[in-house]
Structure 1
Amino acid sequence: MSQAPIRQAVVLVGGLGTRLGALTKETPKPLLPVGGRPFLHYLIEEVLRHGVQEILLLAGFRAEKLSEISALYPQVRLIVESSPLGTGGALRNAAEFLDERFFFLNGDSLFDVNLWDLASISSGATATLALRKVPDVSRYGPVALEGEVVTAFGESTGAVGEGVINGGVAVLSRDVLADFPQAEQVSIERDVYPRLASEGRMKGRAYDRPFIDIGVPDDFERSQAYIPALVRRGAVIFDRDGVINAEVNYAHRPDQIEWVPGALDAIKAVNDAGLYAFVATNQAGVAHGYYGEADVTALHDWMNAQFQARGAHIDAFAYSPYHPEGAVEAYRKLTECRKPGAGMLLKLMDAFGVDRERTIFVGDRETDMAAARAAGVEGVLFTDGDLGEALALAIARLSARG
């Protein structure tokens, strides 16, 4: 039986941040300014772009200062501990709100990994960790990994040299709470993870991706330029029909969708490379009265669920329901929102602060190429073959230029 899709992320934001001295005397560490805005805003937006529908913030120290977050991000729920409970205790305090499976993140670090790639290996594990590759594990608590199974966690082995350590991002099963000791204060890293590893109930995958922990003074200073540059990503914008799925006139139901060869691989490669993946599609069927906007949105939600189950995702979909000869008056008009106009592409790039010099639009028609030119980005014409293979070099180039 397949597992339920992950819709929730849990973020630890209750630490004292003592290593940062006076900076965190009155301010929760995740709210410290980075590049002119609170660090937590970056983290929340990174989680939300993966399609997560709810975020639980587990707060403690100066929790009242986090209350405005829910107003800015309606997907966020604040859960406050009355006294310090540790990373595991804070999770147990939120037990009644936890989904069957959820992403679990430290609120003071950013690890630029594809969350759905991590989720894709999590079946059968109580915990699945995103592991960081480091040049010398002697400074950290190393993790022993055999294939996708973590066999030891945080045990000092005297090892030196290259290895992997915990990156502060995980997929957890709610069943992990049964492994917690009875003590009020529980550290999930010290009290739970080692046991799961020793019993073969922990998985992991190593990533060679950017990481920064703002709780370390030197890295907090470095983060001021590093994080804004990191989240200014390039993008691959895909046309939909004829590029991601086979061309079917006015497709608007899941049973009409047949993936183009290599489409899922291409989207995942974009995700894994740290680029945005968008879709921009003309949907004149709405203007002609064949289906409604709700059908378009429902189909895109279904498509993203299919991608997520395979370790990939689309960050955002844009569609144009207009046509100058439409049968439905409300949609009968000529607009820049419809390709070959650049409206959809510009909207996506502006909303996400995209680096346009590292962005391409992949389409199967000259109108798509015209839209790319109008938006000031490179157009890539795809008409046949394997989409993943066709875009491999371009994705590598866009990533490398970052």
Structure 2
Amino acid sequence: MSIDLGLVERAPAKPGGFAPVRKTMVRQAVILAGGRGTRLGELTREVPKPVIPVGGVPFLSYLIWNLARHGIREIVLSTGYLHEKLRDALGDGRELGVRLSYVREREPLGTGGGVRNCLGLLDETFLVLNGDSIFDINYLDLAAGAQGNPRIALRRVEDASRFGTVRHRSGRVVQFSEKGAGGPGAINGGIYLLTREVVRELPEGAVSLEQDVFPELAARGRLFCKEYSGFFLDIGVPEDLARAQTDVPAWRRKPALFLDRDVVVEDDSGHGFEDGDFAWRPGVCEAVKAANDAGWLVFAVSARPDMGGRDCPGPDSPHFEGIAASGLADAGAHFDAVYHYPREGRSPAPAMLAAFGRDWNVDMAASAMIGGSSSGVSEARRAGVGRWLLHDREPDDLRRLVLSIL
């Protein structure tokens, strides 16, 4: 089914334009948010399931926050049931740090049809996520090295009876099994890396990715996968929605890894972060990715202006894109933010670190700081950071330190 341009709503541009999305392999996500949520009964009579309040905010706001911190800020919402109320709940995405576009179905099209209905807005490569579940994975890791192949994220659970299992071998999906069989297994986590090529091949009308498309791709050896173990919750049934009221806000409060400027780049590189032309210290990409994979927030912090970050407690640096483009994204890694401290000296003040913690709802006691000087380590301790370590500049030290923390 070709897209009906009359039903496409693009968010207006911010005054002055949006900051450019960093150059990652994937910059866009489609969120499937058109279902009726019949298993939730009266709860979805007047409220679309994806924006039911969880912890006092629309459920989708958590999912959008998680995408935005990975640098995925162009989001297309495939809507249907109670479209206007969903749009009213989320708006154009500015308050969430993203740009939201909406594509509404005239009739239920299934997951595959919903994505195909968005074809006119899609990048060559993009993520697809279910709007009624959170699966905390490193999105950039799913995309890294995919080379244009579709991938799905799998989650291993103790009881797969509600979901059905996915058999895989050497990174390829071999078989999908129906719901009902109990016991542990890998399940479809509801996050997919797709391409426009795959979407163009879909037939018009109602089609299911899970039942029609993926089994066929798997049979042709074209469906790849990665298994993850992060936080997973589906709000599709009343008992899980009730559990989400406490579990999702608890998940949102994450520990953070603070990395001082001097442990990230070489002192004598002679370059700043503004043009992405600088020298990483050994092990930086691997260390940052390890923290990303573990679900931690990762901040680069400095009192030096060449970090390119904004003054605390400002938002992400406009030069954040340059950092990722210089190697992190290719490794499936990212900084959540880069901050510059407006003060003399080279170490962040405790009040500054504490402000970051409040701004990002960080679990400071569970967090860690790796500093390049004893003063930086001392000030992290005074800010309430639970662990503080001094980088000794050995080639593998940063990676080793991070692994000891996680």
TM-score (norm 1): 0.85
Note if contact 1:341-1:370 (Cα within 8 Å) is conserved in structure 2.
no
- Counting aligned pairs with the same residue, the percent is 39
Q: Does 1:369 align with 2:380?
A: no
Alignment partner for residue 350 of structure 1, among 358, 368, 389? 358
**Could you tell me which residue of structure 2 aligns to residue 328 of structure 1?**
none
Alignment partner for residue 252 of structure 1, among 249, 253, 272? 272
**Could you tell me which residue of structure 1 aligns to residue 116 of structure 2?**
92
Alignment partner for residue 174 of structure 2, among 127, 142, 151? 151
**Which secondary structure state, in structure 2, belongs to the residue aligned with residue 82 of structure 1?**
coil
**Which secondary structure state, in structure 2, belongs to the residue aligned with residue 301 of structure 1?**
helix
Equivalent residues, number: 371
**Could you tell me which residue of structure 2 aligns to residue 384 of structure 1?**
393
**Partners of 1:215 and 1:223 in 2: how far apart?**
11
Alpha carbons of 1:158 and 1:22: their partners in 2 closer, same or farther (altered >3 Å)?
closer
Note if contact 2:301-2:348 (Cα within 8 Å) is conserved in structure 1.
no
1:59 shift after superposition? 0.8
Q: Which amino acid aligns with 2:404?
A: L
Q: Does 1:6 align with 2:29?
A: no
**Could you tell me which residue of structure 1 aligns to residue 193 of structure 2?**
171
1:128 shift after superposition? 0.5
Which structure has the larger Rg?
1
- Cα-Cα RMSD: 2.5
Q: Which amino acid aligns with 2:172?
A: V
Note if contact 2:276-2:323 (Cα within 8 Å) is conserved in structure 1.
no
1:223-272 Cα offsets, whole Å, 9 max, x none, are 110001011001101112x2122213663155752222221111111111
1:364 shift after superposition? 0.6
1:168-220 Cα offsets, whole Å, 9 max, x none, are 011111111233134x1111111111111111111101112221001111111
Alpha carbons of 1:20 and 1:117: their partners in 2 closer, same or farther (altered >3 Å)?
same
1:22-67 Cα offsets, whole Å, 9 max, x none, are 0001110011111111111111111111111201111111111122
Moved more, 134-143 or 266-275: 134-143
1:84 shift after superposition? 1.5
Q: Does 1:104 align with 2:146?
A: no
- Alignment of structure 1 residues 316-327 onto 2, 5 Å: 316-320=337-341, 322-323=343-344
Q: Which amino acid aligns with 2:339?
A: A
**Partners of 2:343 and 2:179 in 1: how far apart?**
64
Q: Does 1:239 align with 2:260?
A: yes
1:114-158 Cα offsets, whole Å, 9 max, x none, are 111111142241x20110102244543321211111122x34499
Structure 2: which 5+ residue stretches go unaligned? 1-22, 311-315
- Alignment of structure 1 residues 284-323 onto 2, 5 Å: 284=305, 297=317, 299-305=319-325, 306-320=327-341, 322-323=343-344
1:312 shift after superposition? 1.1
**Which secondary structure state, in structure 2, belongs to the residue aligned with residue 181 of structure 1?**
coil
**Which secondary structure state, in structure 1, belongs to the residue aligned with residue 335 of structure 2?**
coil
**Could you tell me which residue of structure 2 aligns to residue 400 of structure 1?**
none
**Which secondary structure state, in structure 2, belongs to the residue aligned with residue 280 of structure 1?**
strand
Structure 1: which 5+ residue stretches go unaligned? 325-337, 396-402
Alpha carbons of 1:292 and 1:115: their partners in 2 closer, same or farther (altered >3 Å)?
closer
1:162 shift after superposition? 2.8
1:263-299 Cα offsets, whole Å, 9 max, x none, are 111111111111111111122459xxxx997xx9565
**Which secondary structure state, in structure 1, belongs to the residue aligned with residue 376 of structure 2?**
helix
**Partners of 1:63 and 1:309 in 2: how far apart?**
37
**Partners of 2:269 and 2:375 in 1: how far apart?**
17
Note if contact 1:149-1:202 (Cα within 8 Å) is conserved in structure 2.
yes
